[in-house]
Amino acid sequence: NAGVTQTPKFQVLKTGQSMTLQCAQDMNHEYMSWYRQDPGMGLRLIHYSVGAGITDQGEVPNGYNVSRSTTEDFPLRLLSAAPSQTSVYFCASSVRVGGQETQYFGPGTRLLVL
Number of H helices, E strands in the chain: 0, 11
From 20-28, 29-37, 63-71, 73-81, give the range in contact with other proteins by CB under 8 A.
29-37
Of 41 and 114, which has the nearer Cβ to other proteins? Answer: 41
Q: How many angstroms separate the CA atoms of 68 and 54, rounded?
A: 7
Instruction: Judge contact between 92 and 35, C-beta under 8 A.
Output: yes
Number of residues lying near other proteins (CB under 8 A)? 24
* Residues 81-110 as x/- pattern, contact with other proteins by CB under 8 A: ---------x--------x-xxx-xxxx--
54 closest CA partner among 36, 33, 77, 24: 33
107 closest CA partner among 3, 1, 2, 6: 6
Q: Compute the least distance from the CB of residue 55 to other proteins, in Å.
A: 10
Q: Does 75 bind other proteins (CB under 8 A)?
A: no
Q: Compute the least distance from the CB of residue 19 to other proteins, in Å.
A: 21
Q: Does 45 bind other proteins (CB under 8 A)?
A: yes
Q: How many angstroms separate the CA atoms of 93 and 23, rounded?
A: 10
Q: Does 8 bind other proteins (CB under 8 A)?
A: no
Q: Compute the least distance from the CB of residue 4 to other proteins, in Å.
A: 8
